[in-house]
Amino acid sequence: MGNIKAFQSERHRAIQSGVNTTPARNSDNDFAKQLAPAVVVENLSHAYNRKTRPRHIIESLSLTVAHKEAVAIVGRSGSGKSTLLNIIGGLEPVQDGVVQVLGLQLNKLNDSQLTNLRRANIGFIYQAFNLIPTLNVADNITLPLALAGVNTKDRAEQLAPLLDAVGLDGRGEDYPDVLSGGEQQRVAIARALIHKPALVLADEPTGNLDAKSGRVILGLLQSLISEQGSSLVLVTHSLEVAGIADRSFIMTGGQLAPAQDSHINGSLAW
């Protein structure tokens, strides 16, 4: 337990001081995975348009994701899945409640501390890919390393095996606009994983793909995450996709219900 406290306070100090924790990242992650849960959400509530016509999207929601655990969240369109993922990933502020990511309470971090946490320890696969059109495939994928100050040679070394793993060997010079949807999705996955984040947040990682390509990409995501020992929060409309997770939840009425307790079954299309 002493180690846990030492690690947490060391990490906390680094982030509080705005120091980029990237250089020690891999060993940090090894520690982090054995220590605090990857994600703790307690009594989270979130509304849009709070000042005019508030719409309550999340209501007293709680969730814990353990180290190396994969949790899936399914739910109807508009139920708040992306909102929840964005809050966990520090892209939306915590309005009410507590969100802890890798032992750090998000609403106690300032913007640069949050950015450091995200850059060093979180891999985000966005619902709409969010590739940068003016960067080629190689530069899109290695962007998290470039932002962390990793030099060109090291970036190239880390890129090569990942490019191969996602089946895009030889496509590094291509720009996003010439890639198919599935290829863009694979670039987005590679970008989310290249810095070996302790936590991967995936918003509909197969949402824009046909069933077969979706399965291939999901298998790829699953194997890269288990190789890297990352925790995963996976948002999806598909109960089949959710099946890769250790636990699944249905998001409904602003809360999460364990999928096995739900009356909802696999025949229901989201």
Ligand X SMILES: Nc1ncnc2c1ncn2[C@@H]1O[C@H](COP(=O)(O)OP(=O)(O)OP(=O)(O)O)[C@@H](O)[C@H]1O
Binding site for ligand X (CB under 6 A): 48-49, 57, 75, 77-83, 127
Q: Is 206 among the residues that bind Mg ion (CB under 5 A)?
A: no
CB 34 within 8 A of CB 67: yes
Dihedral sign from CA coordinates of 237, 239, 241, 247? positive
In the block, residue with structure tokens 């694979």: 186
CB of 205 to ligand X, least distance (A): 12
| Nearest-approach distance from CB 56 to Mg ion, in angstroms | 17
Q: Which does 77 bind (CB under 5 to 8 A by kind): Mg ion, ligand X, none?
A: ligand X
Residue labelled with tokens 């913007």 = 111
For the chain, where are the alpha helices, taking DSSP H only? 2-16, 25-34, 81-88, 111-121, 137-147, 152-165, 181-193, 211-228, 239-242
254 binds, among ligand X, Mg ion, none (CB under 5 to 8 A by kind): none
CA distance 253 to 261: 15
Of Mg ion, ligand X, none, which one sits near residue 78, judging by CB under 5 to 8 A according to partner kind? ligand X
- Closest to ligand X by CB, 85 or 192: 85
For residue 174 the two structure tokens come to 């291509």
Residue 82 token pair: 């992306």
- The encoded tokens of residue 14 equal 């680094």
Amino acid letter at 152? T
From 14-22, 75-83, 86-94, 113-121, span contacting Mg ion (CB under 5 A):
75-83
Closer CB to Mg ion, residue 82 or residue 238? 82
Q: Which one among 21, 29, 82, 206 touches Mg ion, defined by CB under 5 A?
A: 82
Taking CB within 5 to 8 Å according to partner kind, which of Mg ion, ligand X, none is near residue 75? ligand X
Q: Which is nearer to ligand X, 49 or 134 (CB)?
A: 49
Residues that bind Mg ion (CB under 5 A): 82
